[in-house]
Amino acid sequence: MLSYTLKRLAQAIPTMLIVITIAFFLMRIAPGGPFDGERALPPEIEANLMAAYHLDEPLWQQYFRYLGNLVQGDFGPSFKYKDFTVTELIMQGFPVSLQIGGLAILLALAIGLPLGIIAALKRNTAVDYTVMGTALAGIAVPNFVVAPVLALVFGVLLGWLPAGGWNDGALPNLILPVIALSIQQIAYIARMMRASMIEVMGSHYIRTARAKGLTEAEVVWRHALRPALLPVTSYLGPAIAGIITGSVVIEQIFGIPGIGRYFVQGALNRDYTLVMGTVVFYGALIVLMNLIVDLIYSALDPQIRYDD
């Protein structure tokens, strides 16, 4: 297990290198630069700025300088938020994004799994059709539609919850963004859980468990649940990635000070270091999450051993 983990971490290095390289050069061939403003800067000042940020060096030199700093954990200074380093900005935004994203994943599991199990056990009944119909609707309506509608209904018309803002993560401010972020994942998880539960309930060892006289509840809890969870576990990686990208939009709609908005704004402002920082950070996060998901998968499935 340990050697497998180390091997996977080693494999993550080339992946991250590709991400960094693509993002670095894409950003640099973009027209415009970080110091283009309404007013053109006097040439001497611009030259000084460029020199201060090493932007006057050849591109390959900047690239290796960036990689070198990155290895030491230095993301560099932000060009637009002048008094902050990128690390500071990310560390400010991440707890906020984590809170929303983490709660969204937990909510998606807490609602999606039971719904899927119930739908599978009551297959082809009104319960099943209702759950699956709702789930399909949840998949069909994207989160950037759900979010404004939720804000309109609960924030503006009913006035029950704040329609936006962060307020240091007070509970009422959390509810709408978390729901908007998790609806689609609830739907996917419920559908997947139903499908895998139906498959497991039709297998031979479930028939054996029934034949030896276990009650239906025992059959479900002791024999069916664990194998049925496997496909859902492997979906968790994409689900987390989906929630991370979704948060870019959700943070913008609800005005939440997370990392997502730094990314889009940074890209539009040509804030090179800030964009690179968010891409590297999110890339590493997704790679790490995929590894954790695979480890959970192997813990759930005794047939899989990562010993080699």
Partner 1 sequence: MSTDSLAPTAAPVGDSLGRDAWRRLSQNRAAMASLWLLGLMTLACFIGPWLTPWGLADVDWNAFDVGPTLEGGHWLGTDANGRDLLTRTLYGGQVSLSVALVATFVSLIIGVLYGAVSGYIGGRVDNLMMRFVDIMYSLPFMFLVILLMVVFGRNIFLIYAAIGAVEWLDMARIVRGQTLALKQREFVEAAHALGVKDGKIVTRHLIPNAIGPVIVYVTLTVPKVILLESFLSFLGLGVQEPLTSWGVLISEGADMMQTSPWMLLVPSVFLALTLFCLNFLGDGLRDALDPKTR
Question: Which residue in the set 50, 139, 206, 293 belongs to the binding site for partner 1 (CB under 8 A)?
Answer: 139
Rounded to 10 deg, the angle between the 272-300 and 259-269 helix axes is 140
Is residue 96 involved in binding partner 1 (CB under 8 A)? no
Is residue 141 involved in binding partner 1 (CB under 8 A)? yes
Q: How far is CA 188 from the centre of its chain?
A: 15
Is residue 59 involved in binding partner 1 (CB under 8 A)? no
Is residue 190 involved in binding partner 1 (CB under 8 A)? no
CB-nearer residue toward partner 1: 140 or 292: 140
Distance, CA of 286 to CA of 70 (rounded, Å): 18
Distance, CA of 10 to CA of 163 (rounded, Å): 44
What is the distance between the terminal CA atoms of the chain, rounded to a whole angstrom? 9
Is residue 297 involved in binding partner 1 (CB under 8 A)? no
Question: Which residue in the set 1, 6, 13, 30 belongs to the binding site for partner 1 (CB under 8 A)?
Answer: 30
Following DSSP, what letter does each residue of 214-259 receive, concatenated? --HHHIIIIIIHHHHHHHHHHHHHHHHHHHHHHHHHHHHHHT--SH
Is residue 200 involved in binding partner 1 (CB under 8 A)? no
Question: Which residue in the set 33, 57, 70, 148 belongs to the binding site for partner 1 (CB under 8 A)?
Answer: 148
* Interacting positions 216-245 with partner 1 (CB under 8 A): 241, 244-245
Question: Which residue in the set 87, 99, 252, 298 belongs to the binding site for partner 1 (CB under 8 A)?
Answer: 252
Is residue 283 involved in binding partner 1 (CB under 8 A)? yes
Is residue 180 involved in binding partner 1 (CB under 8 A)? no
Is residue 265 involved in binding partner 1 (CB under 8 A)? no
Is residue 89 involved in binding partner 1 (CB under 8 A)? no
In single-letter form, the type of residue at position 227 comes to P
Q: Encoding tokens for residue 220?
A: 């479900």
Window of 145-153, 172-180, 212-220, 227-235 that interacts with partner 1 by CB under 8 A: 145-153
Give CB contacts under 8 A, 24+ apart, made by 170-177: 174/99, 174/100, 174/103, 176/147, 176/150, 176/151, 176/254, 177/100, 177/147, 177/250, 177/251, 177/254, 177/256
Nearest CA-CA partner of 250 in 185, 176, 152, 184: 176
Question: Which residue in the set 174, 181, 267, 274 belongs to the binding site for partner 1 (CB under 8 A)?
Answer: 267
Is residue 134 involved in binding partner 1 (CB under 8 A)? no
Q: Tell me how far, at minimum, the Cβ of 262 lies from partner 1, in Å.
A: 12
Question: Which residue in the set 1, 9, 18, 91 belongs to the binding site for partner 1 (CB under 8 A)?
Answer: 18
Residue 85 β-bridge partners: 77
Is residue 279 involved in binding partner 1 (CB under 8 A)? yes
CB-nearer residue toward partner 1: 173 or 290: 290
Distance, CA of 105 to CA of 82 (rounded, Å): 34
The residues binding partner 1 (CB under 8 A) are 12, 14-15, 18-19, 22-23, 26-27, 29-30, 136-137, 139-142, 144-145, 147-149, 151-152, 156, 241, 244-245, 248-249, 252-253, 263-264, 267-268, 275, 278-279, 282-283, 286-287, 290
